[in-house]
Structure 1
């Protein structure tokens, strides 16, 4: 089960330039501003900038589906023919993410927030 597409992450090469661009676009400062990730909130969406994204195999913006069981969803997508890009990993405070691609090369992100 998903809670929809609530996050999109852009792989960026120049984090400072991308932060300036998205600050101008969204009219706000980031709520997270770290060397490994910059995050904005806008209209119920999380917009993230990942300076390591290209090295992790991300070739463009990745929509992240928020799911309640990342392991089961990941396994179901693999069984349906998806190819893994990033294995499931904790990116801090129990938030789990993974990324895959479909047969057409489209990127699919999965995100599970920690349970209460």
Structure 2
């Protein structure tokens, strides 16, 4: 049934500013824009991480009816190697704390922030994620 994370979409009132912010955060340019330049984009997409997961930025004009600008709801957590450093960088870039660094159990630690565009970004240290990356590397070797 569910095969894995495919794309997460964040909405922004100012897509040009969101593009700059996420390009700086991720260290890569979006690989896809629609419509294509020179038209101003309504959608941008980045591929990031070990599995080249897709992060889409959508002009908020195209949000579903009734969608709120308020942060909250479901949170997607991205595994990061340096949780404290990542949270520090996000805050320095203008994000605001949503949930502080919180130790869970069995080595899991989470935190989340709200980006300057109102989207919640979850980050975590996830031992299971690391086990799966290691298992794939061992299997493909």
The TM-score, its normalising length taken from structure 2, stands at 0.41
Greater C-alpha Rg = 2
